[in-house]
Structure 1
Amino acid sequence: MFHSLLLRIISAAACLSICMTLSGCAGDRKASTTITEPIVIKKLVVFGFSRALAPGSTPDVIRDPISGSLFSAEPVTEEGLAFMNENLFTRILALGGYELVSPSQAQGVYQKLIASGKLAGSGRLDMLREIGLAFGADAVLAGYLYRWQEREGTDFAVNRPASVAFSFNLLSPPSGELIWHNKFDKTQQSLTENIFDFKTFVKGKGRWMTVRQLAEIGLEGLVAAMPLESD
């Protein structure tokens, strides 16, 4: 069994290498960015993720209100949302060099702005801008969690693989503009189903991942891709 798996891995890797050499094939798709040079900032509000659909909602195709990207959305649990926000803030904190505002602090100001009526009629981008201005921040990081499906099965066999999707948006409170955006939208596949996703196969150690493990791969990649520099 191991010998057969090894042969499949070698064969898939060879095919992937040939394809990338001849036609420049790439793995994960990324939303286009709006800047090319790193942004130097001092203070960052990590607003975090919001659920696109709460439990009990009907699955739907939803357009991200900030970036405009389309997502196949499913109801998201409170547990999944909490995991994403905690993991995101921990990763940003580990970067060092920034004065950070946590998701809980940002939510506190958000509730005060709602109570004051200042956000009446405001869109998502305007709302995030107001929160950033309230903290005197240089940038606000926010996104939506569109899908959080746990695998049905084990490390070695599944009836349904893990699937996760989220948007990742960075905006400037002073200008009110979206300055960078990205996304992660993935349902794990076997190597034989998608030989171009060899990177995910390796990170998962050839096993079927849990939704948390798959989400961490996405967060790791997008946090590393953020065009930020500390002052």
Structure 2
Amino acid sequence: MRDLVKIVGMIVLMLLLASCASKNKVLPVPLSATLAVAGFSQPVHGWEVLDGHLPEDMKAVPSDAIGFMDEALALRLSKRTEATPYLGPGVVRQCREILLAKQNRSRVSAVPFWMEVGRCVSADYLLVPCIFHWQKRQGSAWGVNQPAGLMMDLYLIDLTNETLKRAHYEEVQHSLTEDIFDASTFFKRKGQWITVEQMGREGLAHCLEELGL
């Protein structure tokens, strides 16, 4: 009983600390700026990674998962109703393919390459989303044999200032007893095991907020 009281006390304390913690102020992308958005992809070569490195033992992400994330991202960005309409993956893909055809891939560097893509579509900002891990939940909301897991990066390139911002999201869901320090997320999810699709939407919201979108 005492152990239970201690656990409850720790949870309450962590929730209070989380609510009081100050967030770094994020400078939003101007609504008047032209944003271009690439489609989700899974980098398989080191030169394709804009920042960081490829995970070890990375498995192929299913094409339907990439399609789901593209749709989820489009839905999320559609809520920026006061912003200048963004340029979608189809436009970006055309410039990407044209530039790839002109370059020697052995000498391609990801950041300068994507900056050229952004200039090709005449954008002020270019959003490049990448996914590295997609693990489906095996079980139900109340019990699992395998929890959902996801790893992705969203890169925002400022073409005017030639700067890069990275938002990283990585999670394999754990039970409350396994990860007591993330109690706020546990209660936000009502104690349920979520699907990887739900996790994808949560991850997008987190990354876009971090990037000022």
Match of 1:42 in 2: 33
Establish whether residue 190 from structure 1 lines up as the match of residue 180 from structure 2.
no
More strand by share: 1
Establish whether residue 67 from structure 1 lines up as the match of residue 51 from structure 2.
yes
* Structure 1 residues 172-209: Cα deviation after superposition (integer angstroms, max 9, x where no partner): 2234321x211110000111111222233233221111
What CA RMSD, in Å, does the superposition of the two structures yield over aligned residues? 3.1
| Corresponding letter in the other structure for 1:48 | G
CA 211–98 in structure 1, closer or farther in 2 if over 3 Å, else same: same
Q: What TM-score do the two structures reach when normalised by structure 2?
A: 0.81
CA 19–199 in structure 1, closer or farther in 2 if over 3 Å, else same: closer
Q: Report if aligned partners of 1:140, 1:171 keep a CA contact under 8 Å in 2.
A: yes
Number of equivalenced pairs? 203
| Corresponding letter in the other structure for 1:65 | V
Q: What are the ranges of 5 or more consecutive residues in structure 2 without an aligned counterpart?
A: none
Match of 2:112 in 1: 126
Mapped to 2, the partners of 1:119 and 1:98 lie a distance apart of 35
Q: Report if aligned partners of 2:48, 2:109 keep a CA contact under 8 Å in 1.
A: no
Q: What TM-score do the two structures reach when normalised by structure 1?
A: 0.75
Match of 2:195 in 1: 210
CA 39–217 in structure 1, closer or farther in 2 if over 3 Å, else same: closer
* Structure 1 residues 113-154: Cα deviation after superposition (integer angstroms, max 9, x where no partner): 223x15753211122111110121111111320100101111
Percent identity, aligned pairs only, is 26
Q: What are the ranges of 5 or more consecutive residues in structure 1 without an aligned counterpart?
A: 1-7, 27-32, 55-61
CA 101–75 in structure 1, closer or farther in 2 if over 3 Å, else same: same
